[in-house]
């Protein structure tokens, strides 16, 4: 997460990209890594992760043909 934008996500937390590349045009701005477990229900709601969570769910649940 950087500047309110999800810069990277992976369903198995396999970071294979350089932080420098992930930072893009903001190399001097901090990046925050947070594991978001879609099965965890502690009442947290991180709206910025909604898109990433939908992508993870789509990977786990193949589209019906």
Q: Where are the domains of the chain?
A: 1-65
Bridge partners (DSSP) listed for residue 2: 5
Q: Please write the tens of the pLDDT for every residue from 3-60.
A: 888 888 777 777 787 888 888 888 899 888 777 776 776 766 666 677 777 777 787 7
Task: Identify any residues that bridge with 5 across adjacent strands, giving them in sequence order.
Answer: 2
What is the model's pLDDT at position 63?
Answer: 58
3 SS3 class: coil
- CB-neighbour burial class of residue 7 (10 A; exposed 0-12, middle 13-18, buried 19+): middle
The predicted pLDDT at position 65 comes to 52
User: Quick check: 1 and 50 in contact, CB under 8 A?
Assistant: no
pLDDT score recorded for residue 44? 66
């Amino acid at each position: 997460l950087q500047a309110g934008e999800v810069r990277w996500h992976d369903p198995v937390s396999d970071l294979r990209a350089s932080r420098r590349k992930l930072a893009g045009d903001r190399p001097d701005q901090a990046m925050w890594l947070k594991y978001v477990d879609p099965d965890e229900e502690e009442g947290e709601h991180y709206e910025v992760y909604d898109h990433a969570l939908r992508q993870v769910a789509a990977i786990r649940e193949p589209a019906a043909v």
